[in-house]
Amino acid sequence: MFKKVMVHTKRSIKFIVLFMISTFLIVGAIAFLYKPTYSVYIEGEAIGYTENKAELQHKINDYIENGEEENGSIAFVQVANLPNYKLCLLKKNIVPNDEEIFEKVKEQGITYYRYYAIVDNEEEKLYVSSFDEAEKVVNGLKEKNSSNIEKIAIVEKYEESMQDLVTWEEAVSKLYTAPVKTVNVAKKGTTGNVNTSLTTSGGKADIGISLMRPISGVISSRFGVRSNIRKSSHTGLDIAASTGTPIAAAASGTVTFSGRKGSYGNMLVITHGNGVQTYYAHCSALYVTAGTQVSQGQTIGAVGSTGNSTGPHLHLEVRVNGVAYNPQNYVY
């Protein structure tokens, strides 16, 4: 019985040894003839082999993020189908084709460029390479007091084709528009007296007429005492709007002043009868002269920043017998 067990054990050992030797020989033969690698597929189609999947994919990712052109305006490259990888054994005499695979990926690539459009009145005018350049254009136009500054905007663009770019200095030069000059300002001999006294009333006078808004805008300074300016009295209402915004007559009447008036800048006064007058100050342009009859809603001037003004707006006054009343009692 013992002998039988020994014989059986020896046979098992021989079998194990033979199996190990065979496995070693097979593995050695495979290692001698083949090498581990990756087969590469795009949309299920085999396009080649790579030994270093990580390196190849890193190259593809860098291409997608930056493109291959030495152009700082490239935003990204869109690739429709990225490669898939499967581990396999490849005969050692077959050479991996990483460059061919990369070229296959590039064939799908669509390059998108990033640049910035300078828009004037919602129309693209010029293009610059960066947001920093675009901001310099806007600031340059502000410093030169360009009349179109309120209509200038920046739009970031992503397109397949690149536009011709200009420097910010060129853009400022081409987009600059001289400030609107006063036109049709009253000649010497302007009729009527302009009462610019600081006499105000907190009440509401019965003016006997209905006023309309001369412009639409944001109220930037209200009627009454300005505590931050030596307790001075603000005799009107300031309505902020873009330079050049048309100003309408609040009511029909006769223009009794049209011209320059100290801190008011370019100003119009319309007399409506019964001692009622409306004042329109800081205008960039005056379109009617003294003595002109105007109807309610008629364009009489344009918003500006002439005289003592920190920005484009309309200074509107309502006076009754020379006393200034709060325009918000009648409009806005």
**Residue 240 belongs to a domain:** yes
**Are the C-beta atoms of 191 and 256 separated by less than 8 Å?**
yes
Domain count, the chain: 3
Q: Which position has the token pair 């600059």? A: 176
Structural domain for 62, as ranges: 34-108
**Residue 84 belongs to a domain:** yes
317 plus 233 within the same structural domain: yes
150 plus 77 within the same structural domain: no
267 plus 311 within the same structural domain: yes
At 60, phi and psi to the nearest 5? -65, -45
**Residue 3 belongs to a domain:** no
**Residue 18 belongs to a domain:** no
58 plus 135 within the same structural domain: no
Q: Residue 216: how many CA atoms within 13 Å on its side-chain side? A: 0
User: What is the rounded distance in angstroms from the CA atom of residue 56 to the CA atom of residue 169?
Assistant: 43
* Bridge partners of residue 201, in order along the sequence: 325
Q: For position 187, what pLDDT does the model report?
A: 43
Which element (helix H / strand E) includes 259? strand 253-260
Q: What is the CA 160 to chain-centroid distance, rounded? A: 20
DSSP code, position 243: T
**Are the C-beta atoms of 270 and 258 separated by less than 8 Å?**
no
**What token pair was written down for 186?**
């009253």
User: What is the rounded distance in angstroms from the CA atom of residue 96 to the CA atom of residue 85?
Assistant: 13
Helix/strand/coil percent split, the chain, to 5: 25, 35, 40
279 plus 317 within the same structural domain: yes
**Residue 73 belongs to a domain:** yes
DSSP code, position 188: S
221 plus 321 within the same structural domain: yes
- The residue among 72, 91, 108 that closes a domain is 108
96 plus 121 within the same structural domain: no
90 plus 152 within the same structural domain: no
> pLDDT tens, position by position, for the chain (332 residues)?
555 545 556 666 666 666 676 676 655 655 666 688 999 999 999 999 999 999 999 999 999 988 877 667 888 899 989 999 999 988 878 889 999 999 999 999 999 998 999 998 888 999 999 989 999 999 999 888 888 887 888 888 888 888 999 999 999 999 998 875 544 444 433 445 688 877 788 889 999 999 999 999 999 999 986 544 444 678 999 999 999 999 999 999 999 999 989 889 999 999 999 889 999 999 999 999 999 999 999 999 999 999 888 889 999 999 998 889 999 999 98
Residue closest to 289 by CA, chosen among 275, 269, 307: 269
**Residue 157 belongs to a domain:** yes
68 plus 43 within the same structural domain: yes
CB environment 180-200: b (16+ within 10 A), e (fewer): bebeebbeeebeeebbbeeeb
236 plus 155 within the same structural domain: no
Q: For position 230, what pLDDT does the model report?
A: 44
At 8, phi and psi to the nearest 5? -65, -40
Question: Looking at residue 219, which CATH number applies to its domain?
Answer: 2.70.70.10
**Residue 238 belongs to a domain:** yes
Q: What is the CA 5 to chain-centroid distance, rounded? A: 91
- The residue among 59, 89, 108 that closes a domain is 108
100 plus 122 within the same structural domain: no
